[in-house]
Amino acid sequence: MPVPVTVTQDTFRSSVIESDVPVLVDFWAGWCQPCVQMEPALDNIAAAYDGQVTVAKVNVEEERGLASMFQVMSIPALMVFQGGKKVVELHGRQSEADLSAVLDPLVSA
């Protein structure tokens, strides 16, 4: 079963920017309760969109440079990248249905 991949400053370009499929990036931290509560939804999205979308996680405590680069001011912050560009940005806890509503048009295009 596919699971979200951990992305670091060193792997961001290859995992996200150069990806052939859309990438949903979750900027999160272990102390953030809404972030932790979203984990099952992100796991389900990773499984449901296997091969169509990559789900990536960036721990903002460990990857402050990435958080700063994308101006993450509050978490959870979710960004969808397609073709190397950020195409969607969401803030706060999102349901699996909310995430699907954002991803469906990208994978059917």
Q: Which of 23, 24, 35, 72 is catalytic?
A: 35
Q: Is 28 assigned a catalytic role?
A: no
Q: Is 27 assigned a catalytic role?
A: no
3-state secondary structure the chain: CCCCEECCCCCHHHHHHCCCCCEEEEEECCCCHHHHHHHHHHHHHHHHCCCCCEEEEEECCCCHHHHHHCCCCCCCEEEEEECCEEEEEEECCCCHHHHHHHHHHHHHC
Q: Which of 32, 48, 90, 106 is catalytic?
A: 32
Give the catalytic positions in this structure: 32, 35
